[in-house]
């Protein structure tokens, strides 16, 4: 009893910053654990069906195929091939993400057979006219954010850590994101995005998690809602397949030209 009282008194003497640092450390630890559990997937392919909905509820659909390669010690590599709308069919987007420096991105335009290196400074702009921005679809590397643990909450009936993360890279469209991380899967259940003026911009909900290779959880349906425009986008993932034996050659400019 006496001992406990002494500890409480000693704790009260500690500077406030230490508790704040603890929340940040805790936030980082959760993100680090999520990153650790999701490493070793090597490569994956999937079909993505994107449904865009405007304020009035009118829908338009675009279909893509994606392939991704996990890189150790650097950001991941990916190619997204557009299948529809038909006028952009065969257009392919190659991305080499990096942890510290800016990403390398190329676009293949099939009508001209031309590869264009494009600026990766476009972080906050919409990807294919959707409510997902380029930074939302980019590889989520641990070092891209500063973290802060907030509290525990139940979301969609599941126990979750609530953490804030603050983009450390330039030109982000966000001041912060609040992420609900599932305590069992260590995967996001919900993300709320705040714009540069710190106003709520978008909410992303992750549904239909499936376990692959006995280890990697993937959400097969993501719902992004823009609170400021009333528009929304659904990303439905089909045919996830891991262990395709890809290497870096499958993610170079020659490979990009071969995409169909």
Partner 1 sequence: MMILSNAAYAEWSGNVSARVEIFKNEPINDDQKRGYASLSMTPKYSMIWDDNRQLFGLEVFARVNQHVPNSADIRELSWIYTASEWEFRAGIRKVFWGVTESQHLVDIINQTDFTESFDGEEKLGQPMLNLAIIRDWGTVDLFVLPWFRERRFPHTDARLGFPLPIASQARFESKQAEKHIDYAARWSHYVGDWDIGLSHFYGTSREPKLVASAASGKLDPVYDLIHQTGLDIQATLENWLWKLEAIRRDGEDEDYFAATAGFEYSFFDVKGSGADIGIVTEYLYDERGREAPTPFQNDTMLGIRVALNDEQSTDALVGAIVDNDGNGTVLSLEANRRIGQNFKLTINGYLFTHTEPDDPIHNYANEDYVKIDLGYYF
DSSP, collapsed to helix, strand or coil, labels residue 161 as strand
Q: Does 112 bind partner 1 (CB under 8 A)?
A: yes
Give the range of 6-14, 158-166, 203-211, 238-246 binding partner 1 by CB under 8 A.
Answer: 238-246
CB of 183 to partner 1, least distance (A): 34
Report how far residue 234's alpha carbon sits from residue 213's, in angstroms, rounded to the nearest whole number: 25
How does DSSP classify residue 1?
-
Between 159 and 195, name the residue whose CB sits nearer to partner 1. Answer: 195
Between 8 and 86, name the residue whose CB sits nearer to partner 1. Answer: 86
Q: Does 260 bind partner 1 (CB under 8 A)?
A: yes
Q: Does 187 bind partner 1 (CB under 8 A)?
A: no
CB of 88 to partner 1, least distance (A): 7
Q: Give the pair of three-digit tokens for residue 190.
A: 């919900």
Q: Give the pair of three-digit tokens for residue 184.
A: 């069992």
How does DSSP classify residue 87?
G
CB of 22 to partner 1, least distance (A): 35
- Contact status, residue 202 vs residue 196, Cβ threshold 8 Å: no
Q: Does 199 bind partner 1 (CB under 8 A)?
A: no
Q: Give the pair of three-digit tokens for residue 20.
A: 């704040």
Range 20-27 contact pairs with CB under 8 angstroms and sequence separation of 24 or more: 23/148, 23/149, 23/150, 24/146, 24/147, 24/148, 24/149, 26/149, 27/147, 27/148, 27/149, 27/163, 27/164, 27/165
Binding mask 29-58 for partner 1 (x = CB under 8 A): ----------------x-x----x-x----
- Residues between 75 and 94 with contacts to partner 1, criterion CB under 8 A: 83-90
What residue ranges bind partner 1 (CB under 8 A)? Answer: 45, 47, 52, 54, 60-61, 65, 67, 83-90, 101-102, 104, 112-115, 117-126, 129, 133, 171, 173, 195, 239, 241, 244, 247, 249, 252-254, 258, 260
């Amino acid at each position: 009893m006496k001992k406990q009282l002494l500890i409480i008194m000693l704790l009260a003497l500690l500077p406030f910053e230490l508790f704040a640092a603890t929340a940040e450390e805790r936030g980082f630890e959760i993100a680090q654990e999520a990153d650790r559990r999701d490493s070793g997937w090597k490569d994956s392919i999937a079909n993505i069906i994107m449904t865009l909905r405007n304020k009035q509820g009118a829908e338009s659909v675009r279909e893509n195929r994606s392939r991704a390669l996990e890189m150790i010690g650097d950001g991941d590599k990916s190619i997204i091939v557009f299948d529809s709308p038909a006028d952009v069919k065969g257009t392919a987007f190659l991305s080499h993400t990096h942890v510290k420096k800016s990403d390398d991105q190329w676009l293949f335009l099939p009508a001209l057979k031309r590869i264009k290196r494009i600026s990766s400074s476009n972080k906050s702009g919409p990807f294919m006219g959707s409510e997902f921005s380029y930074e939302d679809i980019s590889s989520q590397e641990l070092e891209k954010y500063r973290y802060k643990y907030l509290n525990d909450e139940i979301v969609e009936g599941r126990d979750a850590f609530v953490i804030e993360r603050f983009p450390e890279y330039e030109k982000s469209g966000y001041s912060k994101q609040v992420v609900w991380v599932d305590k069992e899967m260590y995967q996001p259940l919900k993300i709320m995005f705040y714009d540069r003026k710190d106003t709520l911009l978008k909410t992303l909900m992750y549904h239909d998690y499936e376990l692959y290779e006995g280890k990697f959880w993937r959400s097969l349906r993501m719902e992004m809602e823009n609170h400021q425009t009333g528009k929304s986008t659904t990303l439905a993932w089909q045919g996830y397949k891991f262990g395709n034996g890809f290497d870096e050659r499958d993610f170079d400019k020659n490979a990009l030209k071969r995409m169909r």
